Amino acid sequence: MAPLRSARRARLALGALAVAVALVGAPRPASAVTLTLVSETTPWTGVKLRKYRTSSPAANVWVALVSLCGSHVHVESTKATTSLTTAGAWAGTSGAQIATNGDFYLTSPFHVYGDAVASGVRWPSARSGLASTYASDWYYHHYGWIAFGPDWADFTHTEYVKTHGAARTTGWKPTTVAPSLRPGTLALVSGFPELVVDGVAVTCSSATATTCFPDRSDMRARHPRTASGLTQDKKTLILAVVDGRTSSSSGMYGVELASLMKQLGAYVAFNNDGGGSSQMWVRGQGYVDDASGNNGGGGVRGVANHWGILAGSGNGRPARPGHCVSSAPCQVIGPSGGTIDDSSACFQAFGPSAYWRTVSAGNGGGLHWTNAFSSSTPSNWAWWQVDVQQAGQYEVQWNKVATYAVYAKTRYVVRASGGEHTVIVDQGAGSNGWKDLGTWDFAAGGDQWVAIYDNDSGAVAADQHIVADAIRLVRVGPWCGDGDCEQSETCQSCPGDCGACPSCGDGACNGAETCVSCAGDCGACPASCGDGACDVGETCASCPGDCGACP
């Protein structure tokens, strides 16, 4: 919890016993905290800010309940850095309305303990806890995380949860320690230990027992705390900061923090960096918690990364919420294809706004452009989310406007049917208009996109513009709905092209229809002795079985 955490290099031996857990509704454990609501405000649509006072322990708690389906709500985190920044200072540059501290970190070498992603760009492994050079450090791969992408929120359990007790089936890659990212991850912050596991808060026989949180010993003392969690429906993010080390607030044990997060509605929750790092900053209010007191009265501590909530109409983000799991698609491409403009809700530009330019040109009367630069990671990049109504092969095209399309090694990445394809394009070649990017098989539905990046590993000259205007999908080959009944299509699979299938009542005696099965189309059946009806022409003499015996 101090800025330099190199003293904790010895790897903790994991306890032989898993941490005991108690289900909601069970007798209240000694570690359960009693919450008293002091105040609640709604500073922005979708965001509730609460202050609680707890007893046993006596502590002040600040909570942000963030509806991920609220208008203008987006979640952000800190880009890879080598400097420490307070939550307030970072919020000032990122535009966040609420900011808290994030993952644990070391300053020599500078890195966070777990994985990290910001604006869709993963931190380099040397700046995160993934690098094998940290394999001998006690915290290596202990982490779990909460992550956000387009129209989704997700989590992965910690190493301890994945390797102890019953096999887990929830979350991202529930049996893989330190997993790969979920495709499309835009923001991710790690933490450990896990406080609430699949709706069950961690409890211990004693808050200070060595078996209590065996993957992190400092959970056995009361400290200022920061935690983050998700509700089961993944529609609410819960951020909590507990003051400590002051005369009015004692901080919490780990089990008390677990109880707090469960009572706040978390289905899964993680311990984030705490102690002197615990801080919550709110635009227009400043630090609502005692951030300096948590740091021993030494002022607000700079930290390595943060959670940030962008909310309200003035945050520069689209009104359509970024991570709502129940949102309708931003746009659906029909069977024949379609265009996604940079004015569409399916388009999003990332990176510093100072390096994006918009001009009145291109498709729809507007486009975005930026400059290429030399770097191993992108700074300004953009993507077009693709959701197709009908699976099939589509040619992807981009719209060129010569003045703003210059760089000869512009990198695109196309995600289609679960695969990602990198294409290098000379944007400066050729005339204006639609240019071919490639042809791929797209699955029906979303989780597909076209992305464009501004970075190149080699040298880049000045003013190498990259244009991000519209993209277009053009259907390749036959498809149901193109007006032709192909050999592979039938009246059942594609009635629009092949016509309706024959049916009784359509006025035509077709195929398997007979006078018996469909007399309306095929006419009445001719008289037949033995059919049970005494038809015209039959008599008791010619067909006694139908007409009866003659008198």
pLDDT the model gives residue 13: 31
Contacts of 139 (CB under 8 A, 6+ apart): 8, 104, 113, 129, 192
Task: Name the pTM for this structure.
Answer: 0.87
Q: Looking at the DSSP assignment, which residues form a beta bridge with residue 498?
A: none
Report pLDDT for 527: 67
Compute the distance between CA of residue 392 and CA of residue 443 in angstroms, rounded to an integer. 7
Q: What distances in angstroms separate CA 367 from CA 62, 317, 385, 401, one per listed residue?
A: 42, 17, 17, 9
Structure tokens at 403: 């003045």
Distance separating alpha carbons of residues 484 and 486, to the nearest angstrom: 6
Residues near 357 by beta carbon (within 8 Å), at least 6 away in sequence: 368, 369, 370
Please count the other Cβ atoms lying within 10 Å of the Cβ belonging to residue 311. 26
Tens of pLDDT along the chain (551 residues)? Answer: 433 333 333 333 333 333 333 333 334 455 789 999 999 999 999 999 999 999 989 999 999 999 999 999 999 999 999 999 999 999 999 999 999 999 999 999 999 999 999 999 999 999 999 999 999 999 999 999 999 999 999 999 999 999 998 999 999 999 999 999 999 999 999 999 999 999 999 999 999 999 999 999 999 999 999 999 999 999 999 999 999 999 999 999 999 999 999 999 999 999 999 999 999 999 999 999 999 999 999 999 999 999 999 999 887 888 999 999 999 999 999 999 999 999 999 999 999 999 999 999 999 999 999 999 999 999 999 999 999 999 999 999 999 999 999 999 999 999 999 999 999 999 999 999 999 999 999 999 999 999 999 999 999 999 999 999 999 999 999 888 888 888 888 888 889 888 888 888 888 888 777 877 888 888 877 767 877 888 777 788 888 888 888 98
Q: Name every residue whose Cβ is closer than 8 Å to that of residue 364 and which is 6 or more positions away in sequence.
A: 341, 342, 343, 470
Contact (CB, 8 A) for 217 and 208: no
Query: Which of 3, 228, 191 has its CA nearest to residue 114?
Result: 191
pLDDT at 479: 86
> What is the model's pLDDT at position 58?
96
Q: How far is CA 490 from CA 390, 482, 497, 502, 511, in A?
A: 17, 14, 8, 12, 15
**Under DSSP, is residue 548 helix (H, G, I), strand (E, B) or coil?**
coil
Contacts of 345 (CB under 8 A, 6+ apart): 318, 320, 330, 331
**Amino acid 370: pLDDT:** 98
Domains and CATH numbers, the chain: 21-310 (no CATH), 337-475 (2.60.120.260)
Cα 121–Cα 127–Cα 129 angle in degrees, nearest 5: 100
